[in-house]
Amino acid sequence: MLSSVIVDKAEPSEALSTTVVWSVGIENAKILLSSNQIKNFKKGLPLEEENDVRATRGAYFINAEIELASNEKKEWHIVADINKNAGYIATLKHFIQDNKNCAQLLQEDINDCTKDLVKIIASADGLQLTEDKLGVNRHLSNVLFNAMRGGIFDDNYTIGKKDLLDFILAANSKVHKNNLAFLQNLNEKEEYSTLLKKVTGHKDEQLIRLVYEYLPLAFSRRHGDPSRPWNKFAIEMKKEDGSKNLNYQGNWRDIFQNWEALGLSFPSYTEGMICKFLNASTADGYNPYRITRDGIDWESPDPHDPWANIGYWGDHQIIYLQKFLEISKKYHPGALNNMLTSPIFAYANVPYRIKPYTDLVKNPFDTITFDFEAEKIALNRVKNIGSDGKLIFDANGNVLHVNFTEKLLAMLLAKLSNFIPEAGIWLNTQRPEWNDANNALVGNGVSMVTLYHIRRLQTFCLELFKETATDKIEVSEEMAVFFNSIFKTFDQYKDLLTADISDANRRLIADGLGNSGSEYREKIYGKGFSGIKKTINVLEIIAFFELTIKHFDHSIRKNKREDNLYHSYNLISFKENTVSIRHLYEMLEGQVAILSACVLNVEEVNDVLDALKWSDMFRKDQYSYMLYPDRQLPRFMEKNNIPSDLVQKSKLLMQLISENNSDIIYKDVDGVYHFNSTFRNAADLNNGIKGLKIHQELIQEEQQQILDVFEKVFDHQSFTGRSGTFYGFEGLGCIYWHMVSKLLLAINENYFLALKNSTDKVQLDRLVQHYYDVRAGIGFNKSPELFGAFPTDAYSHTPGNSGAKQPGMTGQVKEDIISRFAELGIVVEQGKITINPGLLRKSEFLSAPNKFDYVSIQNSQESVDLQANSLVFTFCQVPFVFHISEKNRIIITNTNGTTSEADGLSMTENNSKEILERTNSIKQIAVYLTPRLA
């Protein structure tokens, strides 16, 4: 414990909570509270019991002599806990003194906690039984860590009134007060779909928004690599009164991906997840840094915090939302169409102000200012009404509401305003894409990765708006003008798509799109939304998506490499009237993204995968793929060597050398020229040149020339960050396992798409081979010696010189969960469950009878007796038992004991709904089929 909390301020700071450690099972033991006597223990010297230690890091050791007879065992327990107050310790002291069977009570508590943990895993469909024991255990681990990151829904679809009202009050006390009578009239426990119907019928759009945003998640804890100073863990399972803590928090880039996998087991919450996602996005089209139950957080400038940076990330935003939209459309057909015109969405009011387009062009590295006044207003609103204070308000003092269409446009138009033809989406918001190791791409970098993801969204939106029965949709006037302006630019230059686009024409398009975004931002930053609505014809929206798809497809074609791979990121350079492009080296991320776009035919997909296998990204020792090709960085004496001809072309540099002035450049004994070793980048060099007190005329004449020499020597325009300069932390030689699992899922998606659109068995078989080839490289198929860790756990990355690093809390688990359900054949379309055994292997079926223990939707312990040639898993917590059979059929066993049978592998809409909504009316599904693979 601390005698007082360590602070620099001259003020009292009592430490009123402590760490508690106790033990049971060893009688007459000596207790040590530090490591000071470890050396004596190793030497066999006697130890002195410690009752107090000062100014020393604490420890807890017990020391005793034990005699054991043959086959005798001795058990003891050491128990530790943190942040406990004096009251807890007093109670614990009496518990230990008053109970002679502490060890038994402790073991019973451990057993109960284990059962509770199994219930959590079971509720998210983590329990399976097949012949592939390692795969089964890896799936259980994946589901556990996915729940630890994203949370688990506490009680299926049952909503507790008290927690719901607490949430609404914390979000918006005004909405809570205005609807208090209605809310108090709710049942103590409401079924989720019934609650939504009641609230929708109440017709208060502010309340509807908040109820959709309410997600009763528990078990989620703040996460991140603890070795990085900006990450902290927060594990808070219970409130101070001991009741269950329904809470979640996480970086938005992380938590939404875990919800995607969770959404497969709890699909009725999908639209709520979409609302939470979109209501955390800004009017200028981006998402804040952190999402919590209580709203959003953003980073603020802090000169005392070296990790404080402002800015927006990019690509995750598009693809994560896209995946939620796809789940909604598959599981709840028509739900998104109803939301297109529903004004139940809000804008986050993050106080970042993206500079005008002309400023972005001048300096793409410094593009966002922080509006301290806007932050002050928002935080005051939070004090007055709750977490809704961080949203944009209308002229009447209420949260500004818009519809789903407008939220889609805000996000998409922001990206399109940064579209650089044949290059990608310009990274100009001071933050990288998903890979922090590529953070130096910000500014000069352009992302084809984001473009590929948007391409998938374009296809989805085109189909969505074609299906709607609505002819016209109202959006904010400012958004309508933005839409028309972007549309006009794309239409104006559509004839250029028949050939390569010149640097001059590329600049014209970039200027048109960039200025449209700039004008829109100027309006909403300045006066805010006027409240005036304008109508957009749905046919215009359809035409818009058709046109932008043509522009994107042109860029995709131009970014196909000669080796059949695709560019991931490019570099751009703005000159007076041009934008030029420079390609970077190949990256795994780009191949995953183009495959995820689902625009290639099956043969093209196989060509990419063939090329990937033969590329320098394939790492033979791990039989998997690095993020980028490994390479040898220049050794120290190979760096900072300036070609003599470049020095000799500069009068200033030659003059400084002749004067033995090393402020800028020096010459070593071998006659090699070097820049001053204090210069880390061009900015340092520029400051050094400005600091010279001599040769001012030469400085004015040659300053840019010398900066150009520096760039030729170091090529900092191509600097991508850790990815190109480190050998660890997602750097050179590194396998990032999440990206490998993203590749696996992308192949999975393309395979099932190809099954719909292709009859070419040769190409389909090639794709299956690629799928299991990539899968073979993932950890659970390896020995601990090769993997360098327990293979049943997911790990973040494997550097080139060691085994796997950073276990468990990685986004890889999400992809692996989704891929696993696809392997087992679960397909949901139009609200109906179908079994497609296209990736199912006969080797997964049990070789001998077994018993499967599981937890039912009602939390009861159940079991299923399994025969040989069967396997079992749960989906929405209902057991699906597969049997090998030449005839396809499904037998449904209901909880009331009745059964029904149907030929084929498709379930009815009603039966599917019973499973997806977790009604507990279906006890088990027996499926008889023939697996496609051996």
DSSP conformation class of 897: S
Q: Taking Cα atoms as reference points, which of 567, 569, 587, 595 lies closest to residue 745?
A: 595
* Torsion from C-alpha of 325, 326, 329, 330, nearest 10 degrees: -150
Instruction: Please say if the pLDDT value at position 721 is more than 70.
Output: no
Clarify whether residues 557 and 653 are in a common domain: no
Instruction: Please say if the pLDDT value at position 6 is more than 80.
Output: no
Q: Considering just the CA atoms, what is the radius of gyration of the chain in Å?
A: 31
Clarify whether residues 402 and 317 are in a common domain: yes
| Domain-ending residue, one of 78, 113, 148 | 113
Tens-digit pLDDT profile for residues 81-124: 988 999 999 999 999 999 889 999 999 999 999 999 999 999 99
Instruction: Please say if the pLDDT value at position 138 is more than 70.
Output: yes
Clarify whether residues 339 and 434 are in a common domain: yes
Instruction: Please say if the pLDDT value at position 720 is more than 80.
Output: no
Output the pLDDT for position 805: 84
Greatest mean pLDDT among 280-289, 546-555, 582-591 lies in: 546-555
Alpha helices in 434-502 (DSSP H): 448-467, 477-492
Crossing angle of helices 404-416 and 503-526, in 10° steps, is 140
Distance of CA 932 to the CA centre of its chain: 33
Q: What sign has the CA pseudo-torsion 495, 501, 503, 507?
A: positive
- Rounded to whole angstroms, the Cα distance separating 725 from 538 reads 49
Output the pLDDT for position 275: 97
Q: Is position 577 within any domain?
A: yes
Instruction: Please say if the pLDDT value at position 161 is more than 80.
Output: yes
Clarify whether residues 420 and 297 are in a common domain: yes
Report helix, strand or coil for 18. strand
Which residues are within 8 A (CB) of 700 and not within 5 positions of it... i.e. 6 or more apart?
none
Q: What confidence tier does 637 reach under pLDDT thresholds 50, 70, 90?
A: confident
Instruction: Tell me how many degrees the CA angle 678-683-684 measures, rounded to the nearest 5.
Output: 20
> What are the φ/ψ torsions at residue 901 (nearest 5 degrees)?
-135, 145
Tens-digit pLDDT profile for residues 229-265: 545 666 677 777 777 889 988 877 778 889 999 999 9
What is the average pLDDT across 741-763? 93
Q: Is position 391 within any domain?
A: yes
Clarify whether residues 551 and 424 are in a common domain: yes
- What tokens does 857 get? 């939707």
State the burial class of residue 185 (Cβ atoms within 10 Å of its Cβ: 0-12, 13-18, 19+): exposed
Distance, first Cα to last Cα, the chain = 60
Clarify whether residues 495 and 640 are in a common domain: no
Q: What confidence tier does 906 reach under pLDDT thresholds 50, 70, 90?
A: very high
Query: For strand 735-736 and strand 673-675, is the pairing parallel, antiparallel, or unpaired?
Result: unpaired
Clarify whether residues 570 and 496 are in a common domain: yes
Output the pLDDT for position 526: 92
Instruction: Please say if the pLDDT value at position 711 is more than 90.
Output: no
DSSP conformation class of 781: G
Contact (Cβ atoms closer than 8 angstroms) between residue 74 and residue 68 = yes
Clarify whether residues 491 and 357 are in a common domain: yes
User: Tokens 């084929």 belong to which residue?
Assistant: 904
Instruction: Please say if the pLDDT value at position 519 is more than 80.
Output: yes
Which residues are within 8 A (CB) of 549 and not within 5 positions of it... i.e. 6 or more apart?
455, 458, 459, 462
Instruction: Please say if the pLDDT value at position 604 is more than 90.
Output: yes
Provide the β-strand partners of residue 889. 903, 928
Clarify whether residues 562 and 680 are in a common domain: no
**Which of 328-342, 568-582, 750-764 bottoms out in mean pLDDT, i.e. has the lowest?**
750-764
Q: Is position 118 within any domain?
A: no
The Cα-based distances of 665 to 636, 644, 679, 690, 815 in angstroms read: 17, 12, 10, 14, 51
Q: Taking Cα atoms as reference points, which of 413, 430, 428 lies closest to residue 517?
A: 413
- What count of residues does the chain have? 934
Instruction: Please say if the pLDDT value at position 730 is more than 80.
Output: no
The Cα-based distances of 713 to 79, 584, 702, 708, 724 in angstroms read: 59, 18, 17, 9, 16
Output the pLDDT for position 361: 97
Q: Is position 71 within any domain?
A: yes
**Which of 492-501, 722-731, 733-742, 839-848 bottoms out in mean pLDDT, i.e. has the lowest?**
722-731
Instruction: Tell me how many degrees the CA angle 299-573-501 measures, rounded to the nearest 5.
Output: 120
Clarify whether residues 576 and 471 are in a common domain: yes
- Rounded to whole angstroms, the Cα distance separating 567 from 593 reads 10
Contact (Cβ atoms closer than 8 angstroms) between residue 270 and residue 232 = no
Output the pLDDT for position 290: 86
Predicted model pTM? 0.91
- Rounded to whole angstroms, the Cα distance separating 599 from 605 reads 9
Q: Is position 471 within any domain?
A: yes
Clarify whether residues 536 and 401 are in a common domain: yes
Instruction: Please say if the pLDDT value at position 1 is more than 60.
Output: no
- What tokens does 417 get? 């305003």
**What is the average pLDDT value for the chain, to the nearest integer?**
92
Instruction: Please say if the pLDDT value at position 435 is more than 60.
Output: no
- What tokens does 95 get? 């518990």
| Domain-ending residue, one of 83, 113, 143 | 113
Output the pLDDT for position 27: 87
Distance of CA 534 to the CA centre of its chain: 35
- What tokens does 221 get? 């804890």
Question: Looking at the 3D structure of the chain, how many domains does it have?
Answer: 4
Instruction: Please say if the pLDDT value at position 226 is more than 60.
Output: no
| Domain-ending residue, one of 113, 129, 148 | 113
- Rounded to whole angstroms, the Cα distance separating 147 from 261 reads 9
Clarify whether residues 654 and 567 are in a common domain: no
Alpha helices in 586-718 (DSSP H): 588-596, 602-614, 644-648, 651-658, 682-690, 696-714
Contact (Cβ atoms closer than 8 angstroms) between residue 287 and residue 252 = yes
- pLDDT over 70 percentage in the chain: 95
What is the average pLDDT across 630-645? 85
Q: What confidence tier does 309 reach under pLDDT thresholds 50, 70, 90?
A: confident
- What tokens does 544 get? 């818009």
- The residue segments making up the domain with residue 460 are 266-584
Instruction: Please say if the pLDDT value at position 507 is more than 60.
Output: yes
Q: Is position 220 within any domain?
A: no
